[in-house]
């Protein structure tokens, strides 16, 4: 039987109206890109996903049928004093601590929250970026150690006639004004590695093989999505600044390559997972998803 990857899409926001009508949720964007990536590099793999609204405290009733927790972006900040963010923080800690076979991926807000909740004991924190917004398509210089480690144990699932080597650079869409701060180059646990940097933002993601992968950028966004978002977020901005943002958005990106990188992570073997740790959270979960 072909392998399945079962993803709980933890949506941390509702898309702006024109994007909402096209995709309904951010989770659906990720699903479409990961299905397409599988068709290119791992055609025997089936991607399944279910959407949950974390702002409404919706979570899986059980983790028995979940392989991946994916946390989307949000207009909120990970440090905001909101009940739903605190609940999501605790949920991620519980999954990471007690369910080692379940992988965690986070994008933008998801990246920041994952870093803060899993690495705060190592001095990692999220704060407003003093440089301001990072917007449009930017190039990430990927960390050499990350490039060498990513997807090593996923190779058996991949097509052999396609180059799946991790590139040196990656271009994706950006829209964020917070950033992750790591206190020093050696602050992370030994099993973790930083993903890469841009000229604007030093921490573009973190990676623990078989367990956690995050990206600050939005590979799930395309020109249309990011333009529609900025029409809302930038509605009161100076016209020249908004025009420059639209021009930065209207550029080619490497969304397909990024999706393939994420898929390789999702297919990695449970290198660090222990046996017997998989269990249902039971009463620790929030109320079940409304039908």
Q: Using 50, 70 and 90 to split pLDDT, how confident is the model at 162?
A: low
Asked if 94 contacts 160 with a C-beta cutoff of 8 angstroms, the reply is no
- pLDDT tens digits for 239-262? 999 999 999 999 999 999 999 999
Q: What is the pLDDT of residues 41-94, one digit of tens each?
A: 999 999 999 999 999 999 999 999 999 999 999 999 999 999 999 999 999 999
Q: Is the pLDDT of residue 291 over 80?
A: no
The overall average pLDDT reported for the chain is 91
Q: What are the structural domains of the chain?
A: 4-267 (3.40.50.880)
Place of tokens 């590139």: 167
At residue 284 the predicted structure's pLDDT band, cuts being 50, 70 and 90, is very low
Does residue 137 contact residue 248 with C-beta atoms inside 8 Å?
Answer: yes
Write down how long the chain is.
291
Q: Has residue 276 got a pLDDT over 50? A: no
pLDDT in tens, 46-56: 999 999 999 99
Per-residue pLDDT tens digits for 110-145 = 999 999 999 999 999 999 999 999 999 999 999 999
Is 113 within 8 Å of 78 (Cβ atoms)?
yes
Give the H or E element holding residue 176. strand 169-176
What is the rounded average pLDDT of the residues 101-115?
A: 98
Q: Could you tell me the sign of the dihedral formed by the alpha carbons of 107, 108, 111, 113, in that order?
A: negative
pLDDT in tens, 196-231: 999 999 999 999 999 999 999 999 999 999 999 999
Q: Is residue 237 scored above 80 in pLDDT?
A: yes
Element (H, E) at 56: none
CA distance 77 to 92: 16
**Closest of 135, 124, 255, 251 to residue 194, by C-alpha:** 124
The DSSP output letter for 277 is: -
> What pLDDT, on a 0 to 100 scale, did the predictor assign at position 67?
97
Rg value, the chain, Cα? 18
pLDDT on residue 281: 29
Instruction: Give the separation between CA 171 and CA 226, rounded to whole angstroms.
Output: 14
- Closest of 30, 10, 184 to residue 85, by C-alpha: 10
CB 134 within 8 A of CB 201: yes
Percent of the chain at pLDDT exceeding 70: 90
Q: CA angle at residue 30 from 173 to 55, to 5 degrees?
A: 95
- Residue ranges of alpha helices (H) inside 52-98 are 83-98
């Amino acid at each position: 039987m072909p392998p399945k990857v079962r993803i709980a899409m933890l949506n941390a926001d509702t898309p702006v109206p024109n994007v909402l009508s096209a995709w309904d949720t951010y989770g659906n964007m990720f699903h479409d890109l990961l299905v397409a990536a599988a068709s290119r590099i791992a055609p025997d793999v089936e991607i399944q996903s279910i959407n949950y609204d974390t702002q409404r405290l919706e979570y899986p009733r059980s983790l028995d049928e979940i392989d991946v927790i994916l946390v989307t972006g949000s207009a909120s900040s990970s440090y905001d004093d909101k009940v739903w963010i605190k609940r999501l923080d605790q949920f991620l800690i519980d999954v990471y601590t007690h369910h080692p076979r379940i992988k965690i991926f986070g994008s933008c807000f998801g990246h920041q929250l994952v870093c803060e909740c899993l690495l705060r004991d190592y001095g990692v924190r999220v704060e407003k970026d003093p440089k301001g917004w990072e917007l449009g398509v930017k190039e990430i210089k990927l960390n050499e150690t990350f490039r060498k480690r990513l997807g090593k144990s996923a190779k058996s699932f991949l097509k052999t006639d396609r180059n799946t080597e991790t590139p040196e650079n990656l271009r994706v869409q950006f829209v964020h004004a917070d950033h992750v701060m790591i206190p020093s180059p050696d602050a992370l646990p030994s099993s973790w590695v930083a993903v890469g940097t841009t000229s604007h933002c030093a921490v573009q993601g973190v990676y623990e093989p078989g367990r956690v992968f995050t990206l600050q950028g939005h590979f799930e966004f395309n020109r249309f999505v990011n333009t529609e978002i900025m029409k809302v977020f930038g509605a009161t901005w100076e016209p020249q600044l908004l025009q420059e943002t639209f021009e930065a958005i209207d550029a080619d990106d490497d969304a397909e390559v990024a999706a393939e990188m994420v898929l390789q992570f999702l297919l990695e073997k449970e290198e660090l997972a222990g046996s017997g740790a998989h269990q249902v959270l039971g009463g620790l979960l929030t109320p079940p998803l409304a039908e």
